[in-house]
Amino acid sequence: MKRLLAVTLGILTAIGGFVDIGDLVANALVGSRYGFALAWVVPVGVVGICLYAEMCGRVAAISGRPVFDLIRERLGPRLGLANLAASFLVTALTLTAEIGGVALALELATSVNYLLWVPLVGFLVWLVIWRVGFARMEQVFGLAGLLLIVFAVALWKLGPDWGQVLHDASHPALPPGEGLPTYLYYAIALFGAAMTPYEVFFFSSGGVEEHWTRRDVGVARSNVFIGFPLGGVLSLAIMGCTALVFFPLGVGVDTLGQVAMPPAVALGKVGLAIVLVGIFAATFGAALETGLSAGYTVAQYFGWQWGKFVRPLQAARFHGVTLLTIVVGVMVMLTTVDPIKVTEYSIVFSAVALPLTYLPILIVANDPEYMGERVNGRISNTLGTVYLVLVLAASLAAIPLMIATKAGQ
Amino acid sequence: MGTPLVKRLLAVLLLLAACAGPSFSYRDYERKAAHTADEAASVVGSAMLTVELANGRRATRAYLSVLLGEAESTLGAIQQTFEGVQPPDRHADRLRAELGEHLDGAADVLAALRIEVRRGHVDALAGIAEPLGGLHDALEKLAEEHR
């Protein structure tokens, strides 16, 4: 019974923790601009993240070490450094975007300018990372992030013609006036948002933080195979809401305030209150995850003591990197750069960095020296290879498409 | 100091950098105007939705205030970008004036909405927003004609 509860809690946390500022912005923006014509990208991204997160969870449970730790050892310091540089920069950019997202959520609730919230948000993110235990931190913000289910309720209340929705999603067509390059650019952005590198590093390091063993492979898999797809359903609900409210009017979503509008349209002030708390929880939780992931990647590469399972004094350099990344994120936000633009760039650069993140994972998950008989099976390897080709194509196309479409204009 | 070719290229680049959003032909200018009108219509449409929320008392004053403030600043940025584009001929001047009139009208309404919501006069928003419907249609029509 206790184990069942733990599994349920893990799944709920995974659902709530799946959506971050990138998912919120990308899904809402795409729904308002393309209706359901890009809905197919979400399941494609979810299958990819499930596939590689499962490998990472299994590696952590079997070897007792996080993937990043093994990448340097298995592939050597040079390739490890390329992996570190790409992953760290994208994670730091994502953290910056998450801090902006939390501040924007507070602005929407209070009408106090988000720039005034940014330093406080940065401080709170650091304080929670410093003081709160790993499991409690993950559960509180993951469960609070579940409030984003309000998007699914709003979608149902908005009463779409489900037959038409299914038809539009399964027969994607370019809306009038939209070009193919922009369509592909947003497809890559959605894909990058679903497969953000920090998610796998956090999942893997989190497994070690929670002392996973061989017996926990099942827990890891249930989190991944049930929690993440349900998180993907939340992403689709966000897209569906903006597709119904904004797309018919030709209104594009380019602020977080607009993202929160459909629940208010469908459910009034209660819906608005729930969605604002949900956005706060989701972005704050993701800020914690990205802050920790920044520390994890650097500390694991250099072989420093890391993690929240030891006292901060024993992992001073790990906490130092985390703090420094938060400070830089706050400073970038205080330059008055648009947080939504930072989010858009973070998900596109995520797509660029994907091969450097996922190829080493596939290699480590196939190494019997670390995995014994629990190396990847034929299905994992076939799908893993197909996805590697996909992420490579997305990575190569991302920057040219960004330039050609003036970042999706 | 560099070859003559490099110097010429540098001179061309400097000339290009000195122009704000150059348009080399009327057709090019027309496309930029249509894009601007499209973006402005989107902002105006969003503001109309916000006013509907206010009418139905479906959102808090703080939220409405942020949304209308963002709409005003977004429209301001769109307007500023378009005004920086050099019209290539007299024909373009007329288009610039026509679009400018719609943008000015929308900017005035959005500013009035922002001021009233921050004063707590949520009930007054619907009346102030009345011209938005017409401005939205005019912007969409202009975008359609010049796309």
Tell me: the pLDDT tens digits for A138-152?
888 888 888 999 999
Instruction: Answer yes or no: do A107 and B41 touch at CB < 8 A.
Output: no
Residue B2's pLDDT is what? 46
Handedness of CA A168, A169, A174, A176 (dihedral sign): positive
Range of the domain at A72: 2-404
Select the residue of A109, A251, A268 nearest B49 (Cβ to Cβ).
A251
Considering the domain boundaries, does residue A25 fall inside one?
yes
Residue A28 near residue A253, CB atoms below 8 Å: yes
Q: What is the CATH number of the domain that holds A295?
A: 1.20.1740.10
Q: What is the mean pLDDT of residues A129-145?
A: 87
Residue in A with minimal Cα distance to B34: A177
Residue A137 near residue A292, CB atoms below 8 Å: no
Contacts of A108 in chain B (CB under 8 A): 62-63, 66
Among A104, A108, A406, the strongest candidate for a mutation testing the B interface, having the largest count of B CBs within 10 A, is: A108
Considering the domain boundaries, does residue A409 fall inside one?
no
Radius of gyration, CA atoms only, chain A: 20
Select the residue of B56, B58, B66 nearest A111 (Cβ to Cβ).
B66
pLDDT of A271-322, one tens digit each?
999 999 999 999 999 999 999 999 999 999 998 998 888 888 899 999 999 9
Considering the domain boundaries, does residue A315 fall inside one?
yes
Instruction: Answer yes or no: do A250 and B41 touch at CB < 8 A.
Output: yes
Residue in A with minimal Cα distance to B35: A409
Q: Which residue has better confidence, B5 or A305? A: A305
Token pair belonging to A301: 């590469």
Distances, alpha carbon A98 to alpha carbons A90, A142, A348, in Å: 12, 15, 15
Select the residue of B45, B66, B67 nearest A249 (Cβ to Cβ).
B45
Which value, to the nearest 10 degrees, does the dihedral of the CA atoms of residues B96, B100, B102, B103 take? 130
Instruction: Answer yes or no: do B60 and A110 touch at CB < 8 A.
Output: no
Residue A152 near residue A236, CB atoms below 8 Å: no
Q: What is the mean pLDDT of residues A69-94?
A: 88
Alpha carbon distance A265, B63 (integer Å): 13
User: Per-residue pLDDT for B24 more than 90?
Assistant: no
User: Per-residue pLDDT for B17 more than 80?
Assistant: no
Shortest distance, CA A214 to any CA of chain B (angstroms): 49
Shortest distance, CA B52 to any CA of chain A (angstroms): 9
Instruction: Answer yes or no: do A111 and B58 touch at CB < 8 A.
Output: no
Q: Residue A379: which residues within 8 A CB-CB, separation 6 or more?
A: none
User: Per-residue pLDDT for B61 more than 80?
Assistant: yes
Contacts of A100 in chain B (CB under 8 A): none
Longest dimension (CA), chain B: 69
Residue A104, CB half-sphere, CA atoms under 13 Å: how many?
A: 31
Residue A282 near residue A20, CB atoms below 8 Å: yes
Which value, to the nearest 10 degrees, does the dihedral of the CA atoms of residues A171, A175, A180, A185 take? -90
ipTM: 0.89
Residue A107's pLDDT is what? 97
Domain count, chain A: 1
Domains and CATH numbers, chain B: 24-146 (1.20.120.660)
Select the residue of B39, B53, B74 nearest A265 (Cβ to Cβ).
B53
Shortest distance, CA B58 to any CA of chain A (angstroms): 4
Please give the mean pLDDT across all residues of chain A. Answer: 90
- Cβ–Cβ contacts within 10 Å for residue A374, how many? 16
Q: How many CB pairs under 8 A join A and B?
A: 68
Shortest distance, CA A267 to any CA of chain B (angstroms): 8
Handedness of CA B34, B36, B42, B44 (dihedral sign): negative
Distances, alpha carbon B130 to alpha carbons A180, A252, B110, B133, B136, in Å: 37, 21, 11, 6, 11
The 3-state DSSP class for residue A37 equals coil
Select the residue of A252, A257, A269 nearest B67 (Cβ to Cβ).
A257
Q: What is the mean pLDDT of residues B54-71?
A: 96
The 3-state DSSP class for residue A310 equals coil
Alpha carbon distance B34, A386 (integer Å): 42
Q: Look up tokens 């499930």; give the residue.
A: A50
pLDDT of A230-256, one tens digit each?
889 999 999 999 999 999 999 999 899
Alpha carbon distance A24, A261 (integer Å): 12
Shortest distance, CA A29 to any CA of chain B (angstroms): 13
Token pair belonging to A376: 């990847």
**Closest by CA position to A138, among listed A282, A247, A3, A248:** A282
pLDDT of B116-126, one tens digit each?
999 999 999 99
Handedness of CA A379, A382, A388, A394 (dihedral sign): negative
Q: Residue A320: which residues within 8 A CB-CB, separation 6 or more?
A: none
Alpha carbon distance B61, A105 (integer Å): 15
Among B60, B110, B146, the strongest candidate for a mutation testing the A interface, having the largest count of A CBs within 10 A, is: B60
Select the residue of B35, B41, B70 nearest A257 (Cβ to Cβ).
B70
Residue A299 near residue A309, CB atoms below 8 Å: no
Alpha carbon distance A148, A163 (integer Å): 24
b/e code B127-139 from CB counts within 10 Å (16+ = b): ebbeebeebbebb
pTM for this prediction: 0.90
Q: Residue B106: which residues within 8 A CB-CB, separation 6 or more?
A: B40, B43, B44, B75, B132, B135, B139
